[in-house]
């Protein structure tokens, strides 16, 4: 490797920067490099600027990735770090997700009450996630969902200001920001997580063999296999950021096991199941789904 530092691209939010530092530290350790070998290049994503509307109305998950994609294509960065939950299912063919860090806690945390059942009748719950909204409405049809957009601190500030009675945030993000004591973890059996939740991925140009080789030592193979299975589940569903969908894959003695569910926006209809094949599971859920639920996908 030359003395020219590798440029690591990231969103500029506090959580994204924390994740970028995790990737940088893993690379430094794997290769025995000094800190000067990696330069973190932070940029503000469109999704961090537009906070007054649901993501699905203003461009979807691409709002988290398009600035980093452009920087990769223009050679301004060598690789980009993403929260895999925020990466759209279909990516530009010139790019490749090549590594992931070990997955963190996949669960959601509820802030503002001790459990979903403990929320007061008609409580206002702040979220912008179609999945969380649908799952909450299925469990508690009386709840009122209010739009919460912004980074972790913004959403917690909105909660503190009384804009909602409670909110849900990813446990992994809270942990990475040093807020391990915030909120109460919700069982995966009560609320199945978003596909790829808790995973940090690294993307580069598919033909950049040098960078791919440098990233390979920090790839956590089990996390990579499970997250890519969850993304394959999404792809078979043709799910997008409008779609209330959840999935979690695990490797049990080397064998893949994936659970998944699809819901209508109001939570009134739900299909769920498990399989050893993500595409088979997705197709089975679609085949069983009533027309109103099936129409959300594809």
Per the annotation, the verdict on 86 as an active-site residue is: yes
> Helix %, strand %, coil % for the chain, to 5?
35, 25, 40
* Neighbour order of strands in the sheet with 166-170: 144-146, 124-126, 166-170, 108-111, 184-185
Q: Which of 48, 78, 86, 165 is catalytic?
A: 86
For residue 114, count other CB atoms closer than 10 A to its CB. 9
- Taking the C-alpha atoms of residue 246 and residue 225, their distance in angstroms, rounded to an integer, is 17
Residue 154, token pair as written in the block: 């913004």
Show the CA angle centred on residue 73, arms to residues 203 and 62, nearest 5°: 65
Per DSSP, 123 falls in state: -
| Alpha-carbon radius of gyration of the chain | 19
| Span between the terminal Cα atoms of the chain, in Å | 45
By annotation, the residues acting in catalysis are 86
């Amino acid at each position: 490797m030359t003395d020219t530092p590798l440029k690591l691209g990231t969103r500029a939010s506090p959580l994204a920067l924390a994740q970028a530092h995790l990737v940088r530290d893993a690379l430094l350790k794997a290769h025995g490099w000094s800190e000067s070998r990696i330069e973190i290049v932070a940029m503000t994503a469109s999704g961090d600027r537009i906070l007054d509307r649901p993501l699905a109305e203003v461009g979807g998950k691409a709002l988290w990735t398009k600035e980093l994609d452009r920087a990769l294509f223009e050679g301004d960065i060598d690789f980009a770090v993403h929260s895999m939950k925020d990466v759209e299912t279909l990516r530009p063919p010139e790019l490749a997700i090549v590594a992931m860090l070990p997955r963190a806690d996949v669960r959601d945390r509820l802030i503002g009450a001790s459990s979903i059942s403990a929320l007061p009748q008609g409580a206002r719950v702040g979220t912008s996630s179609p999945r969380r909204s649908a799952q909450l409405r299925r469990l508690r049809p009386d709840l009122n969902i209010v739009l919460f957009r912004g980074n972790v601190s913004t959403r917690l500030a909105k909660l503190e200001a009384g804009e909602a009675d409670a909110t849900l945030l990813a446990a992994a993000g809270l942990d990475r920001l040093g807020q391990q004591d915030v909120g109460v973890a919700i069982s995966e059996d009560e609320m199945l997580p978003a596909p790829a939740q808790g995973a940090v991925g690294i993307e580069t140009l598919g033909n950049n063999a040098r960078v791919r080789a440098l990233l390979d030592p920090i790839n956590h193979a089990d996390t990579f296999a499970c997250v890519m299975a969850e993304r394959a589940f999404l792809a078979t569903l043709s799910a997008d950021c409008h779609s209330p969908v959840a999935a979690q894959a695990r490797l049990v003695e080397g064998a893949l096991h994936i659970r998944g569910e699809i819901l209508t926006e109001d939570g009134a209809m739900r299909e769920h199941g498990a399989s050893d094949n993500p595409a088979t599971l997705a197709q089975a859920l679609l085949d069983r789904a009533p027309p109103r639920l099936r129409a959300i996908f594809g």
